[in-house]
Amino acid sequence: MNPDLTSLTLEQKAALLSGRDFWSTKEIPEAGIPSIVLTDGPHGIRRQTGGSDHLGINAAEPSTCFPPAVAVGSSWDPEIARQVGAAVGREALAFGVSVVLGPGVNIKRSPLCGRNFEYYSEDPLLSGVLGAAHVAAMQEVGPGASVKHFAANNQEHERMRISSDVDERTLREIYLPAFERVVTEAQPATVMASYNKINGVYASQNPWLLTDVLRTEWGFAGAVVSDWGAVSDRVAAVAAGMDLEMPGSGGSTDQQIVDAVRSGRLDESVLDEAVRRVVQLARLPHTASGELDVEGHHALARTLAADSIVLLKNEQATLPLGAPSRIAVVGAFAVEPRFQGGGSSHINATRTDAALDSIREHAGARGIGVEYAPGFVLADAEGAEQHRREAVSVASGAGVAIVFAGLSDREESEGFDRTTLSLPGAQIAVIREVAAVAERTVVVLSNGGVVSLEGWHDEVDAIVEGWLLGQAGGSAIADVLFGVVNPSGHLAETIPLRLQDNPSWNNFPGEQGHVRYGEGVMVGYRHYETAAQPVRYPFGYGLSYTTFETGDLRVETTGSDTAAVTVTVTNTGAVAGKHVVQLYVSTTAGPVRRAARELRAFTKVRLEPGESRTVEFALDRRAFAYWDIESAGWVVPAGDYAIQIGEDVSRIVAEQTITLAGDIRVRPLTLESAVGEWFAHPVVGPVLMQGLSAGMTDEQRKHSEKNPDELKMVESMPMRQFLAFTGGAFPPEALEQLMQLSRASAVAV
């Protein structure tokens, strides 16, 4: 298809930059430009054919609900993300959808964010790798992706007008890298501009974000689409690089563009580029093809969900379940599964698996009896005491009691943030009372964001973090409980002891229209590890039914700022299992504060009992770099770097230190440069010291030798001000010569 853009009128071009309706773009048949459909993802297709909305209120066609990003993040497995992306792509084709909105790669800055279920992790590398895998696989199938929400969209509170006030180093190191990786590695068809402002400028009309960074630096060639209703100034948005406004505005904003071009406020060439990018979306498949593989995709959803479950606690080998005399199942979530989040990504699932049904199936095959009590009912607070008594009665004398607890749509959803990490009080009471009477107690959690385990953690024998697992989650949980699947999930976000320990706590969710990202780069585990703040379970944590050993770590530098790493992993247990190899880098090199360690590479390997495998990592310069605000670029300081292999971020099991030459940074000096910079300059410093020494008396020289730290008192003082204290010790002409010398020896980063 080669549409003729030269024949389009100004009005037609402007019209192409906004939706025809809620989910589709405008068509111009005479120019060969068809309408295409964009619809919600990312873990399933929400194809509405009746009333349209962006809140998940109105009905949609049945489709498969795959594990949401909160679960996929804990898989630490790009293959899981790829399979979700490809399957969602196949269903998009069946529905005639050209662009699927997702995945979301925003960082989990606070565990309270109501939309954390739709994001992968608190770490940008993990989020970026999984997001890129999802996008690449889906686009190989045919439909385009819309990676979202660009950028610094880390809360639901006041999301349509809040200003995320964040410094550039933090943006570059934490909140932009996942988007950067998806854009540069997977070339998504679109990027979705978020609702919020960034440092006072709406993302949808932010030229630095959409043009300077996204297009010029990262080379993005696709279209930028607004989040639904995110455009406040249509002309400013087009000028900034925002192409497609969704949903349609009935033509009012189209006319604003026409008027701006005719008045000279908007160059028509800018409009033409936006039109070209929107029209190229019409090259994507836009007619329905293929059929929905209901059974096959449900089975796939079950497999993917099982590999995303995290086993947090397992005392006395309570799991996998052997042959207990009787199993007591307690909790409404066992029969009313919470398997997805609320809001725009809410899928009308083709079917749902209740955990109780799957537990009974597994138990029946083993001759084990199962009894059930609700324990609590999600919509009924009045009968709490009666439900609790029934649960205690069923659990009394049971070999194992399995309590299903978690959060309902009322506690977490798109559109609002949580105010607490705690489970509802009725659920905590049930957990504690059941644990007091059952021989052993297992708690299975269903939640889109981290919940507190305090107040009951030590009273139970095993904890399974099930997150939101998609429509087959109930069966997947039973598969793990009975050992059909060996759990291999690892935490993609920290579980703190207290909400107040989270680094964003003092600033989240902001006030008076602003949220200050005061913790800077110390987000999530970066803060906890650097501050030595105890947590309940650290980032990267996850148990297995087998054991693994790591050894033979070898690290070699491959350049001034790169390295190659190999490490051998062995399954030392009795069953096959998957292990996540986590590589962290730790350094104090450079002029900025660095986190105690940062995730720089990972891979997931499957090993049979006794099997060993050597894995390789290639660390590029970004693995060692920080964003330098003075030079506006990535810098690798010369110095020592510890390459660490961790069972999780807190348990390092192998380590080797290398020394990198890094970047040579010699900048020209001025009178505004600090005294410390003058004396530390590799060329000027020795000359300056020699001249200073030559002008000293013997007594002054002896005093200086005895007190070498006296210079520290004035190191931060600008040279211009320092001169007033020297009594003419540095003649202006001598300083000018030294500044010329520094300019001649300057080396760019």
In this predicted model, what pLDDT tens digit does every residue of 650-660 receive, in sequence order? Answer: 999 999 999 99
- pTM (two decimals): 0.94
Asked if 610 and 617 touch (Cβ cutoff 8 Å), the reply is: no
718 exposure class (CB count in 10 Å sphere: 0-12, 13-18, 19+): middle
For residue 6, being part of any structural domain is answered with no
What is the C-alpha separation between 154 and 111, in angstroms, rounded?
A: 10
Please state, for a pLDDT cut of 70, what percent of the chain lies above it: 94
Q: Give me the sign of the Cα torsion angle 186, 121, 318, 482.
A: negative
Q: What is each CA distance from 470 to 32, 80, 147, 337, in whole angstroms?
A: 40, 13, 20, 9
Are residues 515 and 591 located together in one domain of the fold?
Answer: no
Task: Give me the residues paired with residue 599 across strands.
Answer: 584
Residue spans of alpha helices (H) in 99-154: 124-141
Asked if 487 and 310 touch (Cβ cutoff 8 Å), the reply is: yes
Integer Rg of the chain from CA: 29
Question: Do strands 495-496 and 535-537 pair parallel, antiparallel, or not at all (unpaired)?
Answer: antiparallel
Phi, psi dihedrals of residue 681, rounded to the nearest 5°: -65, 130
The residues that are catalytic are 227
What is the C-alpha separation between 708 and 710, in angstroms, rounded?
A: 6
What is the C-alpha separation between 688 and 180, in angstroms, rounded?
A: 44
Phi, psi dihedrals of residue 720, rounded to the nearest 5°: -60, -40
Token pair of 231 as six digits: 């455009």
What is the C-alpha separation between 373 and 329, in angstroms, rounded?
A: 7
Question: Do strands 577-586 and 598-607 pair parallel, antiparallel, or not at all (unpaired)?
Answer: antiparallel
- The DSSP code for 531 is T
pLDDT for position 749: 41
Span 471-485, average pLDDT: 98
pLDDT for position 249: 85
Are residues 554 and 690 located together in one domain of the fold?
Answer: no
What is the C-alpha separation between 505 and 499, in angstroms, rounded?
A: 7
Are residues 650 and 733 located together in one domain of the fold?
Answer: no
pLDDT for position 59: 77
Asked if 48 and 338 touch (Cβ cutoff 8 Å), the reply is: no
Read off the pLDDT of residues 106-127 as tens digits, 9 standing for 90 and up. Answer: 999 999 999 999 999 999 999 9
Are residues 553 and 532 located together in one domain of the fold?
Answer: no
Domain containing 527: what range? Answer: 301-537
For residue 39, being part of any structural domain is answered with yes
Q: How many domains, in total, are found in the chain?
A: 4
- Largest Cα separation within the chain, whole Å, is 96
The residue length of the chain stands at 749
Are residues 210 and 86 located together in one domain of the fold?
Answer: yes
What is the C-alpha separation between 406 and 428, in angstroms, rounded?
A: 10
> Which residues are within 8 A (CB) of 378 and not within 5 positions of it... i.e. 6 or more apart?
332, 336, 408, 410
Helix (H) or strand (E) segment spanning residue 99: strand 99-104
Amino acid at 427: Q
Whose CA is closest to 494, among 450, 538, 533, 542? 538
Q: Domain holding 408: CATH number?
A: 3.40.50.1700
Could you tell me which residue, 75 or 702, shows the higher pLDDT?
75
Q: Domain holding 611: CATH number?
A: 2.60.40.10
Phi, psi dihedrals of residue 362, rounded to the nearest 5°: -65, -45
Whose CA is closest to 109, among 508, 448, 499? 508
Residue with tokens 């000279």: 264
Are residues 192 and 166 located together in one domain of the fold?
Answer: yes
- The DSSP code for 171 is I
Crossing angle of helices 473-481 and 355-365, rounded to 10°:
40
| Weakest-pLDDT range from 98-112, 114-128, 405-419 | 405-419
For residue 287, being part of any structural domain is answered with no
Token pair of 64 as six digits: 């498969």
- The DSSP code for 118 is G
Q: What's the 3-state SS for 544-568? A: CCCCEEEEEEEEEECCCCCEEEEEE
Q: Cα 124 to chain center, whole Å? A: 5
Read off the pLDDT of residues 196-248 as tens digits, 9 standing for 90 and up. Answer: 999 999 999 999 999 999 999 999 999 999 999 999 999 999 999 999 999 98
pLDDT band at 469 (very low <50, low <70, confident <90, very high): very high
Q: Collapsing DSSP states into helix, strand and coil, what is residue 448?
A: coil
Q: Give me the sign of the Cα torsion angle 470, 471, 474, 478.
A: negative
Are residues 578 and 503 located together in one domain of the fold?
Answer: no
458 exposure class (CB count in 10 Å sphere: 0-12, 13-18, 19+): exposed
Are residues 326 and 210 located together in one domain of the fold?
Answer: no
Token pair of 594 as six digits: 């660095």
CA dihedral of residues 371, 376, 378, 380 (deg, nearest 10): 120
What is the C-alpha separation between 573 and 608, in angstroms, rounded?
A: 9
Q: Domain holding 179: CATH number?
A: 3.20.20.300
What is the C-alpha separation between 342 and 69, in angstroms, rounded?
A: 13
Q: Is the peptide bond before 188 cis (omega within 30 degrees of 0)?
A: no
What is the C-alpha separation between 189 and 183, in angstroms, rounded?
A: 9
Helix (H) or strand (E) segment spanning residue 255: helix 252-263
Read off the pLDDT of residues 663-714 as tens digits, 9 standing for 90 and up. Answer: 987 788 998 999 888 888 888 888 877 766 665 566 756 665 666 666 677 8
The number of beta carbons lying within 10 Å of the beta carbon of residue 431 is: 25
Q: Collapsing DSSP states into helix, strand and coil, what is residue 446?
A: strand
Q: Give me the sign of the Cα torsion angle 631, 635, 638, 644.
A: positive
pLDDT for position 677: 86
Task: Give me the residues paired with residue 362 across strands.
Answer: none
For residue 259, being part of any structural domain is answered with no
Span 174-180, average pLDDT: 98
Token pair of 103 as six digits: 């995945």
Token pair of 341 as six digits: 């989040």
Listed residues 537, 559, 588: the one ending a domain: 537
Helix (H) or strand (E) segment spanning residue 525: helix 525-530
Are residues 334 and 427 located together in one domain of the fold?
Answer: yes
For residue 593, being part of any structural domain is answered with yes
- The DSSP code for 380 is B
Are residues 176 and 111 located together in one domain of the fold?
Answer: yes
Read off the pLDDT of residues 243-293 as tens digits, 9 standing for 90 and up. Answer: 999 998 888 899 999 999 999 999 999 999 999 999 999 999 989 999 999
Q: What's the 3-state SS for 714-728? A: HCCCEHHHHHHHCCC
Task: Give me the residues paired with residue 39 across strands.
Answer: 100
Q: Collapsing DSSP states into helix, strand and coil, what is residue 388?
A: helix
Are residues 556 and 520 located together in one domain of the fold?
Answer: no
> Which residues are within 8 A (CB) of 264 and not within 5 positions of it... i.e. 6 or more apart?
none
Token pair of 605 as six digits: 């390997």
Phi, psi dihedrals of residue 686, rounded to the nearest 5°: -60, -40
What is the C-alpha separation between 578 and 602, in angstroms, rounded?
A: 13
Whose CA is closest to 541, among 76, 71, 67? 76
Listed residues 537, 556, 591: the one ending a domain: 537
pLDDT for position 697: 66
Listed residues 479, 502, 537: the one ending a domain: 537
The number of beta carbons lying within 10 Å of the beta carbon of residue 631 is: 13
End-to-end Cα distance, the chain: 46
What is the C-alpha separation between 120 and 131, in angstroms, rounded?
A: 8
Please determine, for residue 56, whether its predicted confidence score (pLDDT) is greater than 90. Answer: no
Are residues 713 and 656 located together in one domain of the fold?
Answer: no
Asked if 553 and 572 touch (Cβ cutoff 8 Å), the reply is: no
Give the mean pLDDT of the chain: 93
pLDDT for position 710: 62
pLDDT for position 690: 76
Asked if 393 and 373 touch (Cβ cutoff 8 Å), the reply is: yes
Asked if 677 and 720 touch (Cβ cutoff 8 Å), the reply is: no
